[in-house]
Amino acid sequence: MGHASRKRSTLANRAIAASAALILGGGGLVAANVYASAGEGKWGGGGNRTLQGENAGQQVSTIDCPEVANGLPDVPQQSRGEVDRELAAIDTQITDAYKQFADQKEEIERDPNLGKNAILDPLEDKRRASIDRIAVAIGRSGQQPGNLEGMAPCTLRAEEGQNQDNGQGQDNGQDQGQNQGQDAGQDGGDAGNENGDQGDDQQQQGNGPSPDDFVDITTVQPNVQVPQKKRNASRGTFTTNCGVNENGKFNPDNVIVAPGVSNGAHHMHDYVGNQANDAFASDDDLAAGETTCRNQGDKSTYYWPVLRLQNGQDEADVNADGGGKDQNIGEIQTPDQVTLKFVGSPAAKVVAMPRFLRIITGDAKAFTNGDANANASWSCTGFENRQLKDKYPICPEGSKVVRTFKFQSCWDGQNTDSANHRTHVAFADGNGRCQNGFKAIPQLQQRIVYDVPPGPGFAVDSFPEQLHKPITDHGDFINVFDDNLMKKVVSCINGGRKCT
């Protein structure tokens, strides 16, 4: 058992058990993404893609579905609740289909038509019905969309390495300076394969991660670029201390993207800050909630997928939604350290965040959606000038695993949320400037450190079909600073001071 796991308290175990007992089941939803998955390297589904006899015996890894939210027009405010619930139901349909696929994987590989008839066709029918309900809901308050039918079919994705070169020359580098989630062109190569003999035993019920998802951090070249600050830069910082989730608050909800839906994430989240956060929390609930933050003026909620050891040990949520029921198993690791820092803009002064502003960074479905919105990065203490986006780091003895999230730093000046939970905020451009009339706001930067055993034996929780890939890591934030404290944050940042 790792050092971080040993530190977890009896209180934390009770909190997981209590959370699990309250979970009623339901759908899942993650934020919309820029584009849906391409069809290359997949087989099955609808449209022009068919299963051919020569595919028999080909290994397949997961179910790959277009992100329906990508095809939606602007959703009227009156329709968002119903649309969110249907999108959550679509995620549950994929989760259920993946469970069936995992149970019949070997048979499907022998007979591809079984995958089409038993998995893909029934899933398409369910998705089509949900898509129709979404169109009707939008049509009640606006113009009914008519271009969504093509998003109903799904495919089965071939195992990595069969139709694509997935270990050679992948862009692993995260350009921390640009904050755009862009690759810095760092070739991680096959360094992670040296640990392949351990990898098969570490996988979560056969659905990942794989040995190729890890790379020795010492083989990665430095790739962090720091942007030059302009004359009008806001150079200060404000750091808030909200603990490391010592209370053991976990649940598989996501109040931003699946409000009112239990198990909306299909994976477990760590929470620090606001303790009233669950799927049913209103703004009033958050405003009245208790906080773990040392400064009681910060009742913001900060949450991210838990990290688990792949050591065969059951956690208290092994039979719960979001945990074992969604193929997230292993010991949850309490972070050694969580740093929540708000920084300024390299090109402008910042304005106050509006209360209850919601921001999501990263993409929980980046494995199937593509990396357009992938934004979390991985590294090791002592090596943080080397950042990885699509690999987990293998840290040398004495070094700890580090997760970093840099949130969007530009705001449209009007909305605290948007229908796809993304378009009301944006990243600055390569010069650090906000575009399209957006305003610079304090940028949340999260750094989470874990003391885990050296090697490839850990992974973040994920939607089951996302196979616990590191590229699916993501973070969520709701601003519940009181007005006076937010004014202090802005003053510190614009004044060039370092405040805590």
Residues 29, 258: contact at Cβ < 8 Å? yes
Alpha carbons 174 and 435: distance in angstroms, whole number: 22
pLDDT score at 43: 41
Alpha carbons 325 and 459: distance in angstroms, whole number: 17
Domain locations along the chain? 3-25+169-499, 42-158
Taking CA atoms, 324 is separated from 196, 232, 295, 321, 327, in Å, by 24, 51, 36, 7, 5
As a three-state string, the secondary structure of the chain is CCHHHHCCCHHHHHHHHHHHHHCCCCCCCCCCCCCCCCCCCEECCCCCCCCCHHHCCCCEEEEECCCHHHHCCCCCHHHHHHHHHHHHHHHHHHHHHHHHHHHCHHHHHHCHHHHHHHHHHHHHHHHHHHHHHHHHHHHHHCCCCCCCHHHCCCEEEECCCCCCCCCCCCECEECCCCCCCCECCCECCCHHHHHHHHHHHHCCCCCCCCHHHEEEHHHCCCCCCCCCCCCCCCCCEEEECCCCCCCCCEECCCCCCCCCCCCCCCCCEEEEEECCCCCCCCHHHHHHCCECCCCCCECCEEEEECEEECCCCCCCCCCCCCCHHHCCCCEECCCCEEEEEEECCCCCCCCCCCCCCEEEEECCCHHHHCCCCCCCEEEECCCCCCCECCCEEECCCCCCEEEEEECCCEECCCCCCCCCCCCCEECCCCCCCCCCCCEECCEEEEEEEECCCCCCCEEECCCHHHCCCHHHCEEEEECCECHHHHHHHHHHHHCCCEEC
pLDDT score at 55: 52
Max Cα–Cα distance, the chain, nearest Å: 67
pLDDT score at 207: 81
Peptide bond into 209 cis (omega under 30): yes
pLDDT score at 173: 40
Please list, residue by residue across 445-481, b when 16 or more beta carbons sit within 10 angstroms of its beta carbon and e when fewer do: bbbbbbbbbeebbbbbbbbbbbbbbbbbbbbbbbbbb
Please list, residue by residue across 376-410, b when 16 or more beta carbons sit within 10 angstroms of its beta carbon and e when fewer do: bbbbbbebbebbbbbbbbbbeeebbbbbbbbbbbb
Residues 470, 460: contact at Cβ < 8 Å? yes
pLDDT score at 334: 97
Alpha carbons 431 and 182: distance in angstroms, whole number: 14
239: tokens are 């750091």
Alpha carbons 95 and 92: distance in angstroms, whole number: 5
Alpha carbons 155 and 148: distance in angstroms, whole number: 17
Nearest Cα to 379, choosing from 280, 450, 293, 444?
450
Please give the chain's pLDDT, 500 residues, in tens: 444 443 443 334 434 443 433 333 333 333 332 223 322 234 444 433 333 334 556 788 999 999 998 888 889 999 999 999 999 999 999 999 999 999 999 999 999 899 999 999 999 999 999 999 999 999 998 888 888 889 999 999 987 654 433 333 334 443 443 443 333 333 333 333 334 344 444 445 568 899 999 999 999 999 998 777 777 899 999 999 999 999 999 999 999 999 999 999 999 999 999 999 999 999 999 999 999 999 999 999 999 999 999 988 999 999 999 999 999 999 999 999 999 999 999 999 999 999 999 999 999 999 999 999 999 999 999 999 999 999 999 999 999 999 999 999 999 999 999 989 999 999 999 899 999 999 999 999 999 999 999 999 999 999 999 999 999 999 999 999 999 999 999 999 999 999 99
Nearest Cα to 36, choosing from 441, 383, 367, 319?
367
pLDDT score at 232: 86
pLDDT score at 149: 86
